[in-house]
Chains A and B, each alone.
Chain A
């Protein structure tokens, strides 16, 4: 928070001009930079990674590990907002963010992101182990460099490859507890990786005007709505068998397998409805993309329930 000066808690007041007020940020602006809405899924899947690990971690160290995952994800979000400030300024969904709105300077956001990123990685290393810190650093670098700086503006596959960034938390949670990388956390990584494309493309179907205005090559912008619908179905078809792997490998019981199958069948139904939505000749929805909106909402509940059942099954039944 580089625009903080000495006057706040009773210090001498420096002379101010009107331009100072324009840059006056509120605490909530700094919280907004961390993308708090995205953090809930990161925290949740990180906790699941810790819970399903075969080695217990001291409660303080476990809480610290989750805190580090949260701060690191927030730091990556802040660095993303710093880099994307030009496209945020032209997208209706993001125009009120602190940087395009002028409440936080770009330099301050960059400093904030770097400090939080370095701090979270160092704290993870000191509290748990340096392999977990390394994977955490890798996840930040992947999101900021590979996704934000490289893929997002260049290819409609941005979401597919960039989705790996959001898949790291359960792996980091597991490594923080065990100090090693094994099959189950890699499967959890793969599940989130495969879940990301249908989740984001369902969103992109009804929010593509914003991406088009900003020149971001999301799939509906570059290949049209019809191809996007097809891809939503393809990735959901690939996702469902993948969610059964923890059961097939013996990490979970048939209870998890049955729930995963039921949830997956419902996800497939939503994807199918997106595919069969009433469309014009170019694939644009005639129903205001209602199936895509329902599919997007369901995809969030799907991942929360799937991972919750996976953890409960492993802790209680397996």
Chain B
């Protein structure tokens, strides 16, 4: 793999990992708000 290819690969992998982190953080927040909403409803 050439240095340019390596750079592209690392950039793509980093972007994917940030996307996963964002999705997990969003899901955690969503679960928190769902719990609050359900508690308020009951």
Contacts and interface: CB of A to CB of B under 8 A. Distances in A.
B9 A8 contact: no
B10 A7 contact: yes
Interface residues of B, number: 24
Contacts of B41: 58, 61
B37 A60 contact: yes
Interface in A251-271: none
A1 B20 contact: yes
- Secondary structure call for the B interface: helix
A30 B22 CA distance: 14
B30 A64 contact: yes
Nearest to B36: A60
A107 interface: no
Interface bracket on A: 20 to 34
Contact of A27 (B6, B16, B34): B16
B37 A21 contact: no
Contact of A60 (B1, B8, B9, B34): B34
A16 interface: yes
Nearest to B14: A8
Contacts of A17: 1
Contacts of B40: 58
Given A18-B1, A21-B5, A60-B36, A27 B10 contact: no
Contact of B16 (A1, A59, A64, A123): A1
Given A9-B21, A16-B6, A27-B19, A64 B34 contact: yes
Contacts of A67: 30
A286 interface: no
A4 B1 CA distance: 18
Interface of A: 1, 4-5, 7-9, 13, 16-18, 20-21, 24-27, 30, 58-61, 64, 67, 123, 126-127
Given A17-B1, A24-B13, A59-B37, 12 more contacts: A8-B14, A13-B10, A18-B5, A21-B1, A24-B9, A24-B12, A25-B12, A26-B15, A30-B16, A30-B19, A64-B30, A127-B34
Interface of B: 1, 5-6, 8-10, 12-21, 30, 33-34, 36-38, 40-41
